[in-house]
Structure 1
Amino acid sequence: MIIVTGGAGFIGSNIVKELNRQGRSDILIVDDLNNRKEQSQSYRNLRGLQFIDYMHKDDFLTAIQNKEFDGVDVDVVFHEGACSDTMEYDVNYMMKANYEYSKAVLHFCMEHRIPFLYASSASTYGAGENGFREGDECEDALNPYAYSKLLFDRYVRQVMSDTQSQIVGLKYFNVYGPQEHHKGNMASIFYQLYHQVKKDGVCRLFEGWGKFSDGTDVPNGGQKRDFIYVKDVVKVNLWFWQHKGPSGIYNCGTGKAHTYNEVADSVIKALGKGKIEYRDFPEVLKGKYQNYTESDTTKLLEAGYDQGFYDMYEAVKEYCDFLDAGGYFKYGK
């Protein structure tokens, strides 16, 4: 059996779908379908998936703490479940959901020597002033979400040498693609711009605010991010598990940053219409926003990953076509 926490979410449901394509349906999905921050719509992501059972995240936590999974043959745990709202400022809630819960699942896997692959985040690099290389010298946190992820990474580094089973953390950069509807305002810029163009033909981007690390001003729409297609994220996860990749914490990005202007251009080209307009940079985000991210892929490639990454324009065209076709996976297809 395979366990996917957050299996009704964005990345988790894509992992399940690819496992289905590879012939695996003996999957336990763990999630909370009534998540207070995700509009209670994530159940829709399950309709196109094949899996053996579902458990609420609290019931799963109780079950592993009560040893109810002792003797169950678990091949791997993909731990994708988390509160991913970067605007959530209830630190106690964030720490319980993202840090304490993750520790419990980690120790369950360590005890039973089950491969444990989990979602970290590029938000653990703060403003990116020190670069994007895995390690304490580059890491920081600008909000409670980022701190909860950073603290768990640091915890994993402390305990990793105490286990013989595989532990892999993946620092996801800016992920986009199918099955992100339920994320609402936290959905990718590609999803937001697709709907803006469909509605009134306009891609609305932030004006520039702040400076890049070299001291130059950020131009309108010139914020740069390492955008990675969700199918590439799935490939990296499955590669580490199926190839028994070395334990560690790795960046999961393409290694190439694109501006938001390029993002808008890719959506406009995919849809065959649209224009760009700029709006004021929100006061609430000033000092808490990453103007530039670009994954350092050195460690990932040294681990042996050789599957490459989608071209952004090709991925966006595929994603827009998917949204045009209904926007959800279809059962058995």
Structure 2
Amino acid sequence: MFLVTGGAGFIGSNLVRALCARGAEVLVCDRLRDGGKWRNIADCPIAGVLPPEDLERWLTDASDVEGVFHLGAVSATTVRDGDLVARSNLTLTLRLWDWCAEYRVPLVYASSAATYGDGSEGFDDDMDPAALAKLHPLNLYGWSKHATDRRVVDLLARGRARPPHWAGLKFFNVYGPGEGHKGRMASVALHKFRQIIAGEAATLFASDRAGIPDGGQRRDFVHVDDCVAAMLWLMEQPHVSGLFNCGSGTARSFEDLVLAVYAALNRAPAIRYIPMPDDLKGKYQYFTEARMDRLRAAGFPHPATALEDGVARYVHHLLSQPDDA
């Protein structure tokens, strides 16, 4: 059996579907709440849904666990409850690390490109403590993921117990099916699709930095299928462990993304630029680009999905599955 925390969420549900398609037994640990999140796993023959508050008890009695995928987190970059974020994102991850080390269970957990802060120190998934110390996340969420990565590296340096093999994946800007419940934190691709379908012009944040045009902010947009492929591959590699970037390896502008949505809908582009919201000023990444060298050198064979291809596939999914939007 595989345990997938956050298994009804965006990345988690895509992973659960892929595992179930392989015939694996999968237990989802998540909260479905009163929205449409349940639809993400409605077509998956899962072993059950475990409430997060029951996870500790379940771990006490768990047996025959093949692997743990820990994707559950408080993921809003604007959240301000530090105690909640530390408990959910840092403490729980380290608890699962210890459990996987004790019971010899492989672990793949979600880190984030938010650990890189403004990108001034680059986007190299270096595990050297000195390199990690130079990173300064821009928000509480990014700090919680960075603190987790640093503690894992510290545990390794101290020779403490570790899972038989493990990976922390620094996800970049993920988009694709299953994110309709995420509200403001959904991908730009989904937000722009909704605007265009509603007959509005697609809006983008105006630039407030010299030399960067409106819509010229660039991010590493990665299709969720590529993330799932990386997680599945890492779980199957007993000799590969470490922190790894998970992106496309190519930065593209927000304008490129919006034009890809319009092209997939076969509509003429119409873009309107709006001021940056106050709560994002000083906390907004203007450039991200995953260095994929380490994951490729480890042998990961899955090719990155080109932005235009991934967006077209996503748009066609949204048109055929309106409940997902």
Task: State if a TM-score over 0.5 links the two structures.
Answer: yes
Confirm or deny: 8 A CA contact 2:4 2:71 kept in the other structure.
yes
Go from structure 1 to structure 2 and tell me whether the alpha carbon gap of 1:142 and 1:92 turns closer, same or farther (over 3 Å shift): same
Alpha-carbon displacement from aligned partner over 1:86-131 (angstroms, at most 9, x marks no partner) = 0101111110111111111111111101000000000000000110
Structure 2 Cα separation of the partners of residues 167 and 102 of structure 1:
12
Contact 2:20 2:26 in 1 (8 A): no
Counterpart of 2:56? 61
1:293 pairs, out of 279, 283, 288, with 288
Gaps of 5+ in 2: 127-131
Aligned to 1:97: 88
Q: What residue is the counterpart of 2:162 in the other structure?
A: 163
Aligned-residue offset at 1:152: 0.5
Q: Which residue of structure 1 lines up, in the alignment, with residue 124 of structure 2?
A: 133
Aligned counterparts, 1:109-148, within 5 A: 109-135=100-126, 136=132, 139-148=135-144
1:197-253 Cα shifts (integer Å, max 9, x gaps)? 000141111111125xxxxx2210010000000000000001111233511001111
Tell me which of 76, 80, 88 is aligned to 2:79.
88
Contact 1:193 1:264 in 2 (8 A): yes
Aligned 8 A contact 1:245 1:303 in 2 = no
Letter in 1 for 2:192: L
1:276 equivalent in structure 2: 271
Partner of 2:234: 240
8 Å Cα contact 2:106-2:163 kept in structure 1: no
How well do the aligned residues superpose, as a CA RMSD in angstroms? 1.5
| 1:240 match: secondary structure | helix
Residues in 2 aligned to 1:188 and 1:4: alpha-carbon distance in whole angstroms: 22
Cα separation, 1, equivalents of 2:303 and 2:257: 20
Tell me the secondary structure at the aligned position of residue 200 of structure 1: coil
Q: Secondary structure at the residue paired with 2:168?
A: strand
SS in 2 for 1:45: helix
Q: Which residue of 1 aligns with 2:7?
A: 7
Unaligned runs of 5+ in 1: 212-216
Q: Which residue of 2 aligns with 1:214?
A: none
Instruction: Output the amino acid matched with 2:122.
Output: G
Contact 2:100 2:163 in 1 (8 A): no
Question: Does structure 2 retain, via aligned residues, the 8 Å contact 1:178–1:328?
Answer: no
Q: For the structure 1 residues 5 and 328, does the alpha-carbon distance in structure 2 shift closer, same or farther, using more than 3 Å as the test?
A: farther
1:114 alignment partner, SS class: coil
Which of 239, 247, 250 is matched with 1:253 structurally? Answer: 247
CA distance in structure 1 between the partners assigned to 2:218 and 2:144 by the alignment: 24
**8 Å CA contact 1:128, 1:138 repeated in 2:** no
Question: What CA deviation, in whole Å up to 9, does each residue of 1:133-190 have, x standing for no partner?
Answer: 1231552211111111000011111224532511100000000000001100000000
What is the rounded CA distance, in whole Å, between the counterparts of 1:134 and 1:309 in structure 2?
18
For 1:32, what is the secondary structure of its paired residue?
Answer: coil
Q: Residue type of the partner of 2:29?
A: V
1:328 positional shift: 6.1
TM-score by length of 1: 0.91
Following superposition, the deviation at residue 327 of structure 1 comes to: 4.8
- Look up the match of 2:183: 184
Q: Aligned to 1:318, which of 286, 290, 313?
A: 313
